[in-house]
Amino acid sequence: MASFGFLLLLSFLAFCSAASFAFASNATLPDEEEMAIYISLVEALKEIAQTLGKYDWNFSVNPCNKEGAGNRSTLAYGEYKNIVTCDCSFASNTVCHVTHIILKGQNLQGRLPPELVNLTYLEEIDLTRNYLTGTIPLRWGLAKQWNLSKIAVLGNRLTGQVPVELTNIATLEELVLTSNQFYGNLSQGLGNFAQLKKLHLSSNNFTGELPETLAKLTTLTDFRISDNQFSGRIPNFIKSWTNLTRLCEFS
């Protein structure tokens, strides 16, 4: 049975040399009870790759263990980053979870994957400067357990409105939507981001006045809304953002 488990492990979960991985050096192979976690993880990653249009991931070895080290290389420079990071400290260093997916400048031509919510330990998703189309998945805001702190999709071809459901991600600190084709009025619900520090909305097609509920975003340090079609004056509530260090206003 142990031999079968070992072969099963080697048969899935990896990305080839086109990605850089962080892993715990003392991580060990999961036992059979933990194998189900890995099977579920690799299925989620396969779905994510397909939706993104990411075709150079290889699922033949486990990138989060030392066994996968020989198949990794560091490709992270300038505006090009191809990184998946794992945390292998779970269950006494026997179980790994994906925490960061950074795919910048990859020429991805798919869509934003709703399946990302299946990576329940994911902290950051950065898909900057690709050719992704479609809208922000409502499923992202409906996930019951998702401790995401950063969403960055700058420089794609995304459209639609910012779903109010996204504010259900109570841990979100950075939302970067710059240089896409998002449109419409901003929802009053955007004021519910309790921990938001960066809100970048520049270079889209947003319209209307800024919702008064944004006054509640007292943790903001960086607010960018230039190159849109907002109307009205800069609201007085911005004075309550005492942590603000950068403001790119109406244009």
Whole-number pLDDT of residue 78? 57
**Cα gap 61→58, rounded to integer Å:** 8
Q: Which segment of 24-33, 53-62, 80-89, 117-126 scores lowest on mean pLDDT?
A: 24-33
Only one residue has tokens 């991805």, namely 108
pLDDT band, residue 59 (cuts 50/70/90) = confident
* Residues forming a β-bridge with 206: 184
Secondary structure class of 40 (helix, strand, coil): helix
Task: Report which of 240, 237, 241, 235 is spatially closest to residue 249, judged by C-alpha positions.
Answer: 235
What's the pLDDT tens digit per position in 68-93?
322 233 344 457 888 888 888 887 77
Whole-number pLDDT of residue 62? 65
**Cα gap 110→199, rounded to integer Å:** 24
The DSSP result for 83-140, as a single string, is EEEEEEEHHHHTEEEEEEEEEES----SB--GGGGG-TT--EEE--SS--EE---HHH
* Most confident residue range from 18-32, 53-67, 199-213: 199-213
Mean pLDDT of the chain: 80
